[in-house]
Amino acid sequence: MYNSLSREKELFVPINGGHVGMYVCGPTVYSNVHLGNIRTFMSFDVIYRYLKYLGYKVRYIRNITDVGHLVGDVDDGEDKIAKRARLENIEPMEVVQKYTNGFHKMMRIINNLEPSIEPRATGNILEQIEMVEQIIKNGFAYEKNGSVYFNTKKFASKYKSYGQLSGRVIDDLLVETRELKNQAEKKHPADFAIWMKADDRHLMKWKSKWSVGFPGWHLECSVMSTKYLGKHFDIHGGGNDLKFPHHENEVAQNIGACGCAPAKYWLHSNMLLMNGRKMAKSDGNTISAEELFSGKSEHVSKGYSPMAVRFFMLMAHYRSTLDLSDQALLAAEKGYKKLMDANKYLQQIDHVIPDTTSEIDEQINNGISAVFDELDDDFNTPKALARMFELVPVINSYKDDKPLFRDIAKETVERLKKCFSDVLFDIFGLEDESGDSGSGMGDILDGIMNLVLDLRQNARSNKDWPTADKIRDELAAQKIIIKDGKDGSSWSFN
């Protein structure tokens, strides 16, 4: 896996044998999750699924940020959740509940697995206060007017690692830091708040020895990862926009508190773009998942199903940007259907030819291995998909009843079946939306549709055009398209 810390691909060696501890920064629940957020959580869902598939026992922590994340991602300003509470005239915790529910619903729709633990920042205030105390005790933080700041300069001169993750140089931060109200309280502009004194208007605040206040945004992740995964754990993930300041400061806090770096491997997923710009809640360049599913948006010509959207995201490597466009979504939808159809057919092949080994077996077995080789290479989902597409003609040759390979071994067919169902469903987390999820409903639908097509054929033979057209039009209204060919009619979902 590609480790952002070393900027290299590294062999993954877990700290504790077959166990993996993975922490991923979760959403700040002050508005509906947008597709950019969904992309990041889906990228880590696939990583989680693949690690589990490989047999690791994974403890996956994904937090909910419900306090401390201020507007503009800086140390001064209104809390994003409190601001929303003020605008909607409700309690901050109502905001948190509402958007956490929405987030969970979306994770289910897109078929992401639940994490092992989903801690909240507000549920870990005592632990955050303890970490602030520890950092002060170790000499890397100071109190000023009731707020506590991390002494970045002092930390950086002791541990040369500050800036290693993000590539930032501490003196450059001088220039970059905006004129903030509390900058005067800091010893150095690169210092950041780990505890903030709340003013009277502030809605979410807790008692501490320094002031009635609230924790800095970066602190929660240092605390919750340590609490559930220990001081040194395997993987820390998040979107690459979090590298600085969030993750850089998280590392500093952990080292400042306990002298050890939190994660062995840092994984960062890249941004979802729209019209070439980062999709972001804060500047309105977003399309909601609901708009995308329903097609009610100026950015798309029609609605796309959740699995077509999931497939669209799988078609890009998690470290590459992905630009959302109608054209790319159409291509993804087509690809998704093609692979699902091939798989459906593959799972029905009942191979009766006795075991042999031929060149074809070797070719297919190599094809299967190639799929997993791509996944082993930093979770390369687009390349793994490409390898699967290379195997589709083999499957379709059976479909056309012209099997290319009569002497393929039963064992090979079984391996191919397992490869397709494991990768598509267990690792990529796709679902078959065509209606046949193994419940037999697909067969029933096929039966009904054959009857309808027969009735329509009879009407046509009797030159009863109004009936034939009515059947076609009514089905079209249900998004079922009939194609009339010389060998009869066939149907498909639009």
Q: How many CB atoms lie within 10 A of CB 72?
A: 12
Token pair of 99, please?
A: 């958007």
Please identify which residue in 2, 5, 20, 28 interacts with ligand AMP, judged by CB under 6 A. 28
Cβ distance to ligand AMP smaller for residue 24 or 255: 24
DSSP state letter for 113: P
Q: How far is the CB of 16 from Zn ion (least distance, A)?
A: 23
Q: How far is the CB of 237 from ligand AMP (least distance, A)?
A: 8
CB burial readout 346-381, b (16+ within 10 A) else e: beebebeeeeeeeebbebbbebbebbbebbeebbbb
Please identify which residue in 278, 344, 351, 460 interacts with ligand AMP, judged by CB under 6 A. 278
Q: How far is the CB of 211 from ligand AMP (least distance, A)?
A: 25
**Nearest-angstrom CA–CA distance, 148 and 55:** 43
Query: Residue 242 interacts with ligand AMP (CB under 6 A)?
Result: yes
Q: How far is the CB of 258 from ligand AMP (least distance, A)?
A: 24
**Nearest-angstrom CA–CA distance, 12 and 234:** 9
Map the footprint of ligand AMP across residues 63-122, applying CB under 6 A: 65
Please identify which residue in 25, 129, 148, 313 interacts with ligand AMP, judged by CB under 6 A. 25
Query: Residue 241 interacts with ligand AMP (CB under 6 A)?
Result: yes
**326 contact partners, CB below 8 Å, separation of at least 6:** 299, 300, 301
Map the footprint of ligand AMP across residues 179-208, applying CB under 6 A: none
Token pair of 196, please?
A: 């903030």
**Residue pair 145/196 in contact by the 8 Å Cβ criterion:** no
What residues line the site for Zn ion (CB under 5 A)?
Answer: 25, 221
Please identify which residue in 68, 163, 239, 306 interacts with ligand AMP, judged by CB under 6 A. 239
Q: How far is the CB of 238 from Zn ion (least distance, A)?
A: 6
Query: Residue 335 interacts with ligand AMP (CB under 6 A)?
Result: no
Token pair of 198, please?
A: 């709340």
Token pair of 479, please?
A: 């998004």
Q: How far is the CB of 103 from ligand AMP (least distance, A)?
A: 9
% helix / strand / coil in the chain, to the nearest 5?
50, 15, 35
Whole-number Cα distances in Å, 48 to 20, 60, 117, 237, 342: 10, 7, 13, 11, 26
Cβ distance to ligand AMP smaller for residue 276 or 466: 276
**Cα angle, residue 82 at apex, residues 79 and 84 outer, rounded to 5°:** 110
Cβ distance to ligand AMP smaller for residue 70 or 339: 70
**Cα angle, residue 400 at apex, residues 396 and 406 outer, rounded to 5°:** 80
Among ligand AMP, Zn ion, none, the one that 110 touches (CB under a kind-dependent 5 to 8 A) is: none
Whole-number Cα distances in Å, 273 to 36, 213, 230, 276, 288: 8, 36, 35, 5, 13
Query: Residue 452 interacts with ligand AMP (CB under 6 A)?
Result: no
Query: Residue 131 interacts with ligand AMP (CB under 6 A)?
Result: no
Cβ distance to Zn ion smaller for residue 25 or 287: 25
Please identify which residue in 40, 112, 122, 166 interacts with ligand AMP, judged by CB under 6 A. 40
Query: Residue 328 interacts with ligand AMP (CB under 6 A)?
Result: no
Q: How far is the CB of 364 from ligand AMP (least distance, A)?
A: 36
Among ligand AMP, Zn ion, none, the one that 221 touches (CB under a kind-dependent 5 to 8 A) is: Zn ion
Of 37-45, 224-232, 410-418, 454-462, the segment contacting ligand AMP by CB under 6 A is 37-45
Query: Residue 271 interacts with ligand AMP (CB under 6 A)?
Result: yes
Cβ distance to Zn ion smaller for residue 185 or 234: 234
Which amino acid does the sequence have at 205? K
H or E element at residue 22:
strand 19-24
Total residue count of the chain as it appears in this document:
494
* 213 three-class SS: strand
Which residues bind to ligand AMP, rule: CB under 6 A? Answer: 25, 27-28, 36-37, 39-40, 65, 238-239, 241-242, 271-272, 278-280
